[in-house]
Amino acid sequence: MIEIKNITPQETFPIRHEILRKGKPIDSCKFDNDDDSNTFHLGCFVKNRLIGVVSTYKLSNLSFNSEHQFQIRGMAILEEYQRKGIGEKLIQEVEKITISNKTEIIWFNARESALAFYLKLGYKTFGTKFEINGIGTHYLMYKSIA
């Protein structure tokens, strides 16, 4: 049985490290604004084992004309649980929470390898692809929630 619940920023670090920052120092898994009061972190558990994480920040991107925005960051699912609907469940929960917080736009920088996943969930690209040094090719993506 899958359970999604709030977790601490520190609980995200092992999965962020394994999936998003492999080979880099563990302190690279601490992101700016992880501890802000408007930030929330979700964990997906199977049999009490944390297998996926996502963090959501009340941050605006100047590319969008909207006062109420949230940024998704640090979305990571353990490899053996990828392509099983876990990521979709986490994103749906993020959307539900942000809607209740009156957000209008959810945005994030998506890795090129995750582009199809987010397009399937109704997110759109904005602008052209770009490089994040040491991490790879990304696309700015968004979804209007209002």
Nearest partner of 132 among 116, 115, 113, 109, judged by Cα: 109
pLDDT at position 88, please?
A: 95
pLDDT at position 7, please?
A: 98
Helical H runs in 16-137? Answer: 86-100, 115-120
C-alpha of 82 from chain center: 14
**Residues of the chain where predicted confidence (pLDDT) is lower than 50:** none
pLDDT at position 146, please?
A: 66
Residues 6+ apart with CB under 8 A from 132: 109, 138
CB 88 within 8 A of CB 77: no
86-105 per-position pLDDT tens digit: 999 999 999 999 998 889 99
Residues 6+ apart with CB under 8 A from 94: 42, 54, 56, 70, 72, 106
pLDDT at position 23, please?
A: 85
Considering the domain 2-144, what is its CATH architecture? 3-Layer(aba) Sandwich (3.40)
Query: Domain-by-domain residue ranges, the chain?
Result: 2-144
